Amino acid sequence: MTEATIDTFVEQATDPVVITGFVQILTATVLAAIVLGVVYARELDFEREVLTTSGRGLVQVVAAGAVIGVLLAAHLAWATVVLAFMICVAGWISHKRGDAIPGVFRTSVLSIGFGAGLVIVMMTVAGAIETTMRDLIVIGSMIIANAMKTNSLVLDRFTGELAANRPEIEAMLSVGGSPDRAINQYVSTSVYASIIPILDSIKSLGIVQIPGLMAGMIIAGANPIYAAQYQFVIMLMIFAAGGLTVVVNTMLISRRVFTDAKQLDDSVLDAIET
C-alpha cells in the first residue's frame, strides 16, 4: 500500500461527514428495531436473520465505501478484477437460496457473470457507463447486486415450485414429456416471480419513488430531466441483467434436477424438502 493510498484512506475516514453518517445509521437502526420488535412479538422467527444480515451489511458497506475511495485512485484495469470478485461473492450469497441443486454456485456465478457482465460491457461501449473507476465500480456493483437479488428470488421460487408440484411434473413425464417440457411452466413462473420487484420498480418510477441515483444527481445539480432519463437507463440495465441472469441460470439448473433416465432426482427433492 503506497503512502498516497494511506493518506487517501485516512482523509476519508476522518471526514466529519463520516460521523454524521454513523448518526444517520443509528436513526435508521432504531426504525429497523421497531420492525424487529414486531417480528419477535408475533413469533415470525426471522429476527436472527434480520440482525445478522443487517450487521453484516453495515460492516460490508462501510468497508466497501473505504475500499472504493481507495480504488477510485487506482488503475482502470482493477475495475475488471473488482467486478469479477463481486460477481463471485454475489454467486456465493445467492446460491444458498437453492443449494439443494447440484452445482448451483457455479451456475449462479456463470449466470450473474453473463447477465451483469454483458450489460456492463454493452452499456460501457454505448457510453452509458463512463470508462472511469468511479462509474464502473459504482454502477457495475449496482447491476451485479440486482442480478444477485433476482437470482436469489428465482432459486427460491424454483425449488419451491419443484417441491410443491412433484406429482404434476411426474404426470407429464408419465405421458412421455421431456424433463424440459415437464418443468417448463414452473421455470416460467419462477422467472416471472423473480423479475416482479424490478418490473414494479419501473412501473412506479417517478410516481411512488424517486430512485437514489436520480435523487443524488438532482441534489448534485444535474438537469432533472437528464437525471430521470439516466435513472431509466439504469433501471433497464438492472432489468436486463436480472432477466439474463435468471434465464441462463434456470436453463442451467433445470437439467440438474433430473437424472440421466429423465426422472426427478430424489436426492435433490429430499434436500429441498429438508
d(CA 130, CA 83): 15
The CB-of-178 to other proteins minimum distance in angstroms stands at 6
All residues at 6 or more sequence positions from 22 whose CB lies less than 8 Å from its CB, including other chains: none
Residue type (1 letter), 131: T
The answer to whether residue 174 forms part of the interface with other proteins (CB under 8 A) is yes
For other proteins, the binding residue among 7, 76, 263, 273 (CB under 8 A) is 263
Other C-beta atoms closer than 10 Å to the C-beta of 242 total 29
All residues at 6 or more sequence positions from 258 whose CB lies less than 8 Å from its CB, including other chains: 179, 264, 265
The answer to whether residue 259 forms part of the interface with other proteins (CB under 8 A) is yes
Among residues 170 and 200, whose Cβ is nearest to other proteins? Answer: 170
The answer to whether residue 160 forms part of the interface with other proteins (CB under 8 A) is no
The answer to whether residue 274 forms part of the interface with other proteins (CB under 8 A) is no
Among residues 120 and 187, whose Cβ is nearest to other proteins? Answer: 187
- In terms of Cα–Cα distance, which of 60, 110, 137, 95 is closest to 244? 110
For other proteins, the binding residue among 171, 196, 215, 251 (CB under 8 A) is 171
Other C-beta atoms closer than 10 Å to the C-beta of 198 total 21
Among residues 29 and 174, whose Cβ is nearest to other proteins? Answer: 174
Task: Determine contact, residues 235/205, Cβ cutoff 8 Å.
Answer: yes
The CB-of-193 to other proteins minimum distance in angstroms stands at 15
d(CA 251, CA 187): 9
The answer to whether residue 262 forms part of the interface with other proteins (CB under 8 A) is yes
> Where on the chain is the footprint of other proteins (CB under 8 A)?
167-168, 170-178, 181-182, 185, 259, 261-263, 266
